[in-house]
Amino acid sequence: MTAIAIPDDVLNSMKIPKSDQERVLKMELALALYGRGILTMGKARRLAGISKREFLDELGKRKIERHYTIEELEEDLAFAKGDL
């Protein structure tokens, strides 16, 4: 695992309770990287530590366009057929 160093003065200036900073920063990073097409939904959800439903809800709230890949389509079709 790689750590990202954030200067203390930056962390202290955030209007986020210290107990929520890591969770919020991971969520923001995951959404930004997904929105730019850098991460897949699965990897972004893993980074954010949330379920697919929660991630989709957050995308909707923020009006971030969902990237629907062939792999996701195949997964959805397999699920619909009962293959998963």
Residue 3 falls inside a structural domain: no
Structural domain contains residue 27: yes
Residue from 48, 17, 16 nearest 31 by CA: 48
Q: Is residue 11 part of a domain?
A: no
Q: Across residues 4-10, what is the average pLDDT?
A: 94
Specify if 47 maps to a domain: yes
pLDDT of residue 38: 93
pLDDT of residue 84: 57
Within-domain flag for 38: yes
Each residue's pLDDT tens digit, 29-68: 999 999 999 998 889 999 999 999 999 999 999 999 998 7
What's the number of domains the chain is made of? 1
Instruction: Confirm if 35 and 64 have CB atoms less than 8 A apart.
Output: yes
pTM (2 decimals)? 0.78
Which residue range forms the structural domain that includes residue 49?
20-81
pLDDT of residue 82: 83
Average pLDDT over residues 3-18: 94
Question: For residue 36, is it within any domain?
Answer: yes
